[in-house]
Amino acid sequence: MEKFKRLKNEGNDFVKMGEYEEAANKYSECMKLNTEECTIYTNRALCYLKLDKYEEAKRDCDHVLQREDSNIKAFYRRALAYKGLQVRKKSMAGI
C-alpha cells in the first residue's frame, strides 16, 4: 500500500507540472497494485484528455462508472472524451 501511495503522489506531482504522459504512466503502475481505487482511473482519464487520447479517457471513465455510477468526475471527463472524439471525427471527415 505504501508503494501505491508513493506512485499516486508522483503521478499527482507530474500532473501539477503538466507532464501528463509521465503521470499516466505512474497511475498505470498504481493500477497494477490496486484496481479498486477509482480516483486513479479518473486521474489517468484527465491525463489522457490532456494528451488527446479520448478513447482511452472514455474507457477509464466507463470503468469507474461501472463501479461508482454517480462519480461526477468520471461523468464530466467522459463527456469531455466524447466531445473530443466528435471533434476528431468531424476533422477526419473533412480530409
pLDDT the model gives residue 91: 66
The listed CATH number (3.30.70.260, 2.60.120.10, 3.10.20.30, 1.25.40.10) that belongs to domain 1-93: 1.25.40.10
Locate the domains of the chain by residue range. Answer: 1-93
Q: How many CA atoms lie within 13 A of 90 on its CB side?
A: 6
**What share of the chain has pLDDT > 70, as a percent?**
92
pLDDT of residue 10: 98
Taking alpha carbons only, the member of 87, 76, 25, 23 closest to residue 52 is 87
pLDDT at position 93, please?
A: 61
